[in-house]
Structure 1
Amino acid sequence: MSKYIFYAPNPTSENRLSEEESFHASRVLRLKSGDQINLLDGQGGRYAALLDQVDSKKTTFTQLSLLEKQAIIPYQIHIYVAPTKQMERMEWMVEKCCEFGIHGIHFFHSRNSERKEIKLNRLEKIAVSALKQSKNLYLPEISPIKPLSTYMDSLVESASTQRLFAHISDPPVENLSKQLIQNKSYHVLIGPEGDFTPTESADLLRANWTPCSLGKSILRTETACIAATMGIHMVHE
């Protein structure tokens, strides 16, 4: 793989880099016409190409060829999380979940939420950077903040999906790894620092969401997201 890796969502139909990627190629890496690069489309494809015109605002490429098309794994991971007050912790979470491999990171607000706004563009850039750094070829969907009730009502469990929520209780519920049914599309809710309220937990149980434990320790929100993501991957190893 070329050491110069760029994100290009539609390389077969648009032979140019975004303005941000063009600036990076031209001004940061100081690449020249004829230099070999790799392109990731975020949909499982990795391509080789040669730089054509190198400009800080519009860099084009030529001689595109498909190097790899990563197969879609038989399960999906979608994490739903109430963002913390310190956005840096959410940025770190997005980066690490993307490195492990995740299909969607979705934000919600609930009774104990600490934040009602997020910088979606910033998180998307972090996800792209993590995609380029890791060997994962799929860029996850990142969704803006919505009410918890929106996801509770719209996500329907089916033969191909499983809905779970991290639940702190006494006595504790079953661990996530024991609750998982193999090769599903998993939708996992992670509550805010103050956890779900008793009413919210009761509503989730009534709506047939499956409660699960992430271990004996009380985890920070961002740690819980990473633990759930890694836990699901480990079950499928």
Structure 2
Amino acid sequence: MQLFFNPDISEKDKQVVFQRDESKHIVKVLRKKEGDILNITNGKGFVFTAEIIQADLKQCIARISSAEKQPPPPYYLHMIVAPTKMNDRYEWFLEKAVEIGVHEITPVICDHSERKKVKLERYERVLLSAMKQSLHYYFPKLNEPVTFKDLIEQGIEGSKLIAHCEDVNEKPYLQKKVHPWHRVNILIGPEGDFSKEEIEQARNTGWEQVSLGDSRLRTETAAIVACHTVAMVNQ
């Protein structure tokens, strides 16, 4: 099954008009023609079945024959992850997080962050490609980068968990702090980890410390381990 994307369609629409890039992909790359059937999502949980009625490189049009709403996942995972020095590592995290199951992502800029600027448009393309490849019907929310200080001052709903490498007395494994069908926010730091001041600030504002295991993990690896742990708890 191939999945296509159009964010503007709703269950009331009778046809869908694809933007130029998606039209070119459908007609030129995949060689779809009039009469072929497409499966489309709007990233809001709907999957549409539609028949191509105009196979044009600049504006492919399809007639919608059915629309079905897929149930949302039983939990909500918000990953708050510091950008990595090498941008391709962060993009790898984005791709794999979508495949495993993530609902919201926020890049966070910390004291030890070596990368403090990100290209959200590029990140959104990675998320979109991963959503279509993994046949998911909900497009993750990607937030603007936020500083650590501003983040912890926000009123965030659900469990607030911070994973760091400091040796402290009370740091249970993540799976012991994640509950099924619950909203969870997980904070992952940069390559140099969070500063001691940041860890203390997080603790003072209600963030609970957690461990991802005995190994010292890269930022993007730690983020994927966290995603997988939450997904497994909710199976």
> Structure 1: any 5+ residue segments left out of the alignment?
none
> Structure 2: any 5+ residue segments left out of the alignment?
none
1:127-152 Cα offsets, whole Å, 9 max, x none, are: 11111111322110112211112221
| Partners of 2:93 and 2:6 in 1: CA distance | 23
Asked if structure 1 preserves the Cα contact closer than 8 Å seen for 2:49 and 2:66, the reply is: yes
Query: Residue in 1 aligned with 2:78?
Result: 78
Query: Residue in 1 aligned with 2:231?
Result: 233
Query: Residue in 2 aligned with 1:91?
Result: 91
**Any residues of structure 2 matched to 1:184-203 within 5 Å, and which?**
184-203=182-201
Query: Residue in 2 aligned with 1:64?
Result: 65
Asked if structure 1 preserves the Cα contact closer than 8 Å seen for 2:2 and 2:132, the reply is: no
Query: Residue in 2 aligned with 1:35?
Result: 36
Deviation at 1:11, TM superposition (A): 2.3
Q: How big is the alpha-carbon RMSD for the aligned residues of Structure 1 and Structure 2? A: 1.5
1:116-168 Cα offsets, whole Å, 9 max, x none, are: 111211111111111111132211011221111222111335xxx11111022
- Structure 1 stretch 173-182 or stretch 202-211: which is displaced more? 173-182
The answer to whether residue 121 in structure 2 is matched with residue 124 in structure 1 is no
Number of aligned residue pairs: give it.
231
Deviation at 1:44, TM superposition (A): 1.3
**Any residues of structure 2 matched to 1:1-237 within 5 Å, and which?**
3-12=1-10, 13=13, 15-66=16-67, 68-157=68-157, 161-171=158-168, 173-237=171-235
TM-score, normalised by the number of residues in structure 1:
0.92
Percentage identity across paired residues of the two chains: 37
- Structure 1 stretch 82-91 or stretch 4-13: which is displaced more? 4-13
Instruction: Tell me the SS of whatever aligns to 1:154.
Output: coil
1:68-119 Cα offsets, whole Å, 9 max, x none, are: 4221223100000110111101111100000011101110111100111112
| Partners of 2:51 and 2:81 in 1: CA distance | 40
Deviation at 1:171, TM superposition (A): 4.2
Instruction: Tell me the SS of whatever aligns to 2:54.
Output: coil
Instruction: Tell me the SS of whatever aligns to 1:56.
Output: coil
Letter of the structure 2 residue corresponding to residue 42 of structure 1: G
| Partners of 1:136 and 1:45 in 2: CA distance | 10
| Partners of 1:111 and 1:230 in 2: CA distance | 27
| Partners of 2:155 and 2:89 in 1: CA distance | 26
Over 4 Å off, 4+ runs: none
| Partners of 2:146 and 2:195 in 1: CA distance | 17
